[in-house]
Structures are given as structure tokens and as C-alpha cells.
Structure 1
């Protein structure tokens, strides 16, 4: 889990340094993050389901090996295209989260599962709060390439741990074969919708490329549904996909990641390091003030949130977290240039977002998955994480990249609106759990 999270969060403070050394604009360099999460979305949905047929441990080892290769490419990248190729390979590490959630659910009882899932989710919000700060220090003193060298060491250690500590696979979990045609159709649809929204934000929603991407998204989703209806062992059966126990979970995850992740990991970072209209902070100080607190708080809040969800109900706790997260984003949007107001609001998101929201959407992704395909919904929900993070950055980057107060304000209010929509979709979630 740490191998994935370091790839996601340590790079954030170094984005301005990457833009300078690789000769790209802020808008161009945003793809270093958005492509990572897009690749993670595809890998998560495909590899999680594949583990039902070939085993969890084999997939973990494959994922971490590909991640290590991608990390080495990033460390040596002479140009932005090579960097983006490495980031795409690194994105496959997203599948490790979904595989871990499924393994926990298969091996732990319900009461322990909530707390254990919260521990893993705490890592998803930041490795003890140190990852962002360490990334900033490395970027300031040794350059961004040193970040990937550190991540590579962790990845190699992760491979050793999986090899020696994860129980061996005992055989396939599900009967049948992997649905490769459905996987391909859904993967293309995910790519098209991501680039369609990103292109629409930068070049306009009536631009020919934007319309082409969105049309391709619709076409490929129709193809995906048609394939799923005819496949004996689909990625996820159509009747489950349209159930209120499944689609609102996926929609809520996409929206909340689009709304909150972009604020914490992009817009606030850009504001804090802008010497003209922002706070003029270094990469390390920016990370210490605006990435570390929420992550540290999340380490404590996420396990407690998992425990609370088993008592009060997973859906109920999710909705409370969404309301409180929206309120924190409103505070940031009202005073984007007040560094201490933003500091307090981002720290509050450590409880409401890193704790309550991320823990419960991860839990619901596992608990509401169809019994005949236990890794199907975790995979789709993992894809929703990657798509949401990528879409959120793609939507706000053109506005934040202006470097003006009005640009920052527009980016933040877009995030507020998206997060409120996440709360609306959460009202549609139905559960078999009486507590919810």
C-alpha cells in the first residue's frame, strides 16, 4: 500500500520543479498526476477481477514488478513523454489497494474488518503525514528524481514482503474465464471520458475533440454492456451494475474524489507555491502545512471511522462525512488567500475526508460486491478513485494554472459543487445492512 501511496503523494510537492526541468507548463505537468490515476483506474478494475481467476498473491507480485519498472523510468526520464510513460506503469499499483481490501474481507470477521480497512485507508490518505513533506524536502534539495529513487527502494521491499508474508494462493476464487473483451471496452471508455472532460475544460465543450471523446465514451460503454450481457463470467453482471447497491457507490466515489482530491493535492499546492498571488512557500514547507496535517489526522481518523461504521452503519457515516467535507471546501473557497484559514480547513478534511469518507466508500466497495464476483465492485470502485482524482485535476487545472485570484476561486467552487453532488448520489445508495 505504501508503494502506491508514495507514488501518488510524494510527487505532488515536486510538480513545479518537474515543470521547470522537463520544460512543461503547469497545465502540461498536471498530466503527471492525472495519467497516473487514469492508469490506476484501468489497472484496478481489470486486475482486481483477474485475481478472482488467477489468485491474489500472483497479481500483487505482478503489479509491484510493473510499478518498479515504471518508477525506474521516471527517475531517469529525460523528457515529459518518458515521464508520462513511467507514470502510466506506476499507476498499476492502484490495484494493490483493491486486492488488499478483498483479502481482508476474506480473512477477517466483520467487526475486525472495519478497523483493519480503516488502517489501510489511512495509508491511502498519506503515509503518516510524512510522504508529502519528505517529497518536498527531496525536491528542494536533491531534485524530483530523488523522489523516485526513494519510491523504488520501497517498491523492492514490498515485492520481498509479498513474496514471503502473503499466504500462497490455494486456487481460483471464481469459476470461468476472465472477461477480456469487457475489460477492453471499459478501459477505452475510461480513457475517453477522462480526456473528454479534460479537453472540454481547456478547449471548450463544443470543441471537435471534446465531442469526439464523449461520443466514443458512450459508444464504448454501450459495447461494454452488450459484451457483459453475453459473457458467462462478466466483469460485473449488468443487473448488479444498475442496482442501487452498486452504481451509486461508484458515482459517489468518482464525484468525491473529483471534488476533494483536486483541492488538497493540486489547487492548494499551486496557490501555496505561487510567489505572486499565492503564499510563496517552498515545496517542503507547502507540503508540511497543507499535505501533512490531513494525512497525520487521517492515520487516526480512518481506523476509528471503520470502527464507527460497523456500529452506526457504513452509508450513514459516509453521508455525514460528505456533508462535513463540503463545508470545509466552502471555507477554503471563501478565503483561498488566507493561508491559516486554508490550513485549518485542510486539516479538518483529515477527519471528514481521509477518515469518514474514504474509509466508508472503500468498505462499501467490498461489502456490496456480488457474491459470485467478490473483487468486481472493489475493482470498479478502485477505478472510480483513479478516474475521480484524474478528472478533478483535469477540470480545475486550466483555472488554477492562470495564477490569478479569480482562477483559484473558480477552481475551488467547481470542487465544492462536485462534492455536493457526491452527497446527492450517496442518498441513492441502498444496502442490505439493517443499520443503514
Structure 2
């Protein structure tokens, strides 16, 4: 039975579409909006980055092994993968501000649960609730597109993309310092305070009301099927990396992923107002964006955040660095460079074109990956390659792909593609690590080089796919 109805639209507090009422912002009003969204995005991002160095302390506190503690992060990112597509599309009916406030409220509830959790399962439950706030990225990009002048949209997307990498790479360090000094719960207290500030900023600055042109109701059947697919594919990748790809449990998860995606496809074909129409999924506006995101993350994320980390800390066949020095040389510079490169990339995209910026970012990310593989035995060559990726991956690619996900999203479902694209980041990152782990995990020079070249190959495919991405309306390729 088709359960869609126009009743969903009654959730919005305003009777008239907000987008039709709100003028485009510039100057100080635009700056206030960007600042409010940065605070909202930071409240999520610090949840992701600051807790990582505190994981050993959490395990010790609850007497849990590494596998159990790993759920503190895995459940957080799984919730983010599910919430992005759902909240992005739902915001088309309830309004962007209402959706932002909803995800921030859920995150606040999860944070309070994490602060008070007496057991690890309750802490994991709190982390799942916190992960829902991942949708704030997609919502923020949509708000910027709907409210800012075209001339500053790209720069504002770059600013938010820069925050996606954390606070210049030092947030993880401060998370570890806080855990050592005050205990891991102090991190959640900071996050809760920032969330409260973000709620105030959103209420004060973000325009309310329902977007113009929205009609029908939320496709909850499609959202459910897509969520099942995302859960199944996430656990398939995770289990395949540990239990093996031929393991019966792994194959069962693959079958569940295929079945849920088939169900999603069939549901979307029958809905009058689908989560995303099937003909959009087949168009060059949608599938190349999603595929480029998954493949580029699979290639580059695995290099920066996995293979090079192992290589740099290997005393026998690597550079023999401590964990802190390794982070200082190979993680912090790329993140810090991205903070400055991302707004520049957005400024260039506004003036020279989003498609060109994407292809430059992807092509030069490929060059940086190849340099790391070619000179894997030279610490400073690898350092230079990773810094180079800070410019063209953290800066150009992330800004362009996020901007294009908004600009190319179907007009009848403007919140859908940003949400699905956001979910694709986690899938791509997990997939990349899983693919190279058997080689990098050997701990040999040949294993590290093989892992790097596999990542180069994946990134090369990503560049080829990026050539199929359609140009936004009015932009020449």
C-alpha cells in the first residue's frame, strides 16, 4: 500500500515555502549563515575526530577488547551513513532548519547518554544517536545553495569542506590530551556545549519554512530499503575483511545487500514521490557523482589514513616513527593544508567551473598517490606526496564533489543526492582499507608498495568515472 500523503508537509512550522520568501544573502548576513553552519558541522566533526585517541582508555575503563571498543566508532559512522539520505530528503518536506534542529537534538540526546553511560553497550547506543548528526553536512550544503549568492556559494562550500577534515588536524591531539587529563567523558561534555551553541545559531540565523516546490510526502518505504542496503553493504565489507570473502556469513550479507537494493529499486519505480527516482539514478547527474566519491575515497583515504600510517610506524620495513610523530608528519599537514586549499578551490569553482575543479582535483590526487607509491622508501618524498594530497584531495576534490552533489541533485528531490553522496564517503573509505589491508598488513616493503599501487589503480578508475559527471546547468565543460 502506498503510504505517502501530503500530511508530512504539516510538520513544517510555516505555511508558505521559505525559499520563495528568502532573498539571496551576501556580505555580513552571508557570513553569519556560514558561521552558524560551521558551528553545526563542527559539533559533528569533533564527535568523529576527538574520540579516536580516547578509544584505548574507553576499552580499559569498561574492560572491553578492541573489537568491542571498535563499535564506538563503527556504530557512529553507520548511523551517519543511514541518516544522510533520509534527512536530506525529509528536509525537502519539513524544512532545512527543522531538519538541522532535529539531528542536533538527537545528537545532544546521544551525547548525554555517552556522558552518563555506565556500560559499554549504552555508550555505543549513545554513539549511534550521535552519528545521526552526520546529516548536518548535506543539510548545510543545501542551505548554502538555497540562500547565498552564486558568487560566494563555492567559497562557502570550501569552508565547510575544510571543516570536514577537522580543526586543522589538531582536534585529535586535543581529544587525546583531554582524555588523559580529565577522562574520555570530558570530550562529550565539550561536544554537548558546542551542540547547544549550534542549536542557538541555527534557530537565530538559518531561514525557516519549507523549501519552494516541495510536494507530496516522505518516501519512508524507500528510505527503509535504502537503510537496509547501507547496513548490509557496510557489514559485508567489514566481515569480508576479517572472516574472508567466501565466508557464509559474508556471502549472506552480500545477498542481503543485493536484495535490499533490488527492493529499493522496485519501490522507487512505483512511488509518486520517491526518495530518488529511478531515472535519476541512471542519469549522469547522479551515478557518476556517487561512483566518483566511493572510488576516490577508496583510493586516497586508504593511502593517507591506513597504508602510510602503518609504513611510517614500521621499525623494520618502514620509517620507524612513533605514533605521535607519524601523525604530525603524515596526518596533520594534509588536514591543515586542506583548511586553506578548500575555500580557494570553491572560489575557483565559482569562477572557472565545478566540473573542471573536480577533474583537476581527481587527476592531481592521482598524481600524488602515484608519487607516494613510486617513492615509498623515502620518508620525505612520501611526506611531500601527502602534503600535495592535502591541496588537491582535501581541498579541490572534496570541495568540488560536495558542491556538485548539491548543484546536480534532482530539482524534484534537492536533498537526496547530497545525502546519498555523504553516505558514499564512509562506504568508500571502508572499502579502500579493506582492499589494501591484506597487502599493507604483511608488514613488508613489497606489501606496502603493493597496497599503494592498488590505491593508485582505484584512484585512476575514479578519474575515469569523473569524466562522466554532468556539468551543472549553464556551465560549459
The alignment's TM-score, normalised by the length of structure 1, stands at 0.89
| Structure 1 residue 397, shift from structure 2 partner | 5.2
- SS where residue 359 of structure 1 aligns? helix
| Structure 1 residue 209, shift from structure 2 partner | 1.2
What are the residue-to-residue correspondences of 1:321-336 with 2, within 5 Å?
321-334=361-374
**Alignment partner, residue 127 of structure 1:** 167
| Residue pair 1:306, 1:359 contacting (<8 A) in 2 also | yes
Mapped pair 1:358 → 2:363:
no
Mapped pair 1:65 → 2:105:
yes
Alignment partner of 2:139 out of 85, 96, 99: 99
Q: Larger deviation: 337-346 or 42-51?
A: 337-346
Q: Larger deviation: 172-181 or 277-286?
A: 277-286
**Alignment partner, residue 435 of structure 1:** 476
The alignment's TM-score, normalised by the length of structure 2, stands at 0.82
**Alignment partner, residue 208 of structure 2:** 168
- SS where residue 363 of structure 2 aligns? helix
Structure 1 residues 112, 167: closer, same or farther in 2, change over 3 A?
A: same
**Alignment partner, residue 424 of structure 2:** 384
Mapped pair 1:347 → 2:387:
yes
Tell me the distance in 2 between the aligned counterparts of 1:272 and 1:113.
38
| Residue pair 1:362, 1:378 contacting (<8 A) in 2 also | yes
Gaps of 5+ in 2: 1-40
Tell me the distance in 1 between the aligned counterparts of 2:240 and 2:386.
28
What are the residue-to-residue correspondences of 1:200-215 with 2, within 5 Å?
200-215=240-255
Structure 1 residues 216, 408: closer, same or farther in 2, change over 3 A?
A: same
| Residue pair 1:12, 1:265 contacting (<8 A) in 2 also | no
Structure 1 residues 381, 396: closer, same or farther in 2, change over 3 A?
A: same
Tell me the distance in 2 between the aligned counterparts of 1:279 and 1:146.
34
| Residue pair 2:94, 2:210 contacting (<8 A) in 1 also | no
Alignment partner of 1:244 out of 284, 291, 297: 284
| Structure 1 residue 178, shift from structure 2 partner | 0.1
**Alignment partner, residue 5 of structure 1:** 45
Tell me the distance in 2 between the aligned counterparts of 1:152 and 1:337.
44
| Residue pair 1:298, 1:351 contacting (<8 A) in 2 also | yes
* RMSD, aligned α-carbons: 2.8
Tell me the distance in 2 between the aligned counterparts of 1:29 and 1:394.
19
What is the CA deviation profile of residues 105-132 of structure 1, one whole-angstrom value per residue up to 9, with x for unaligned ones? 1112222111111111111122233323
Gaps of 5+ in 1: none
What are the residue-to-residue correspondences of 1:146-295 with 2, within 5 Å?
146-169=186-209, 174-272=214-312, 284-295=324-335
**Alignment partner, residue 27 of structure 2:** none
| Structure 1 residue 321, shift from structure 2 partner | 1.2
**Alignment partner, residue 84 of structure 1:** 124
Structure 1 residues 202, 404: closer, same or farther in 2, change over 3 A?
A: farther
Larger Rg: 2
- Whose relative contact order is higher, 1 or 2, with alpha carbons under 8 Å and at least 6 apart? 1
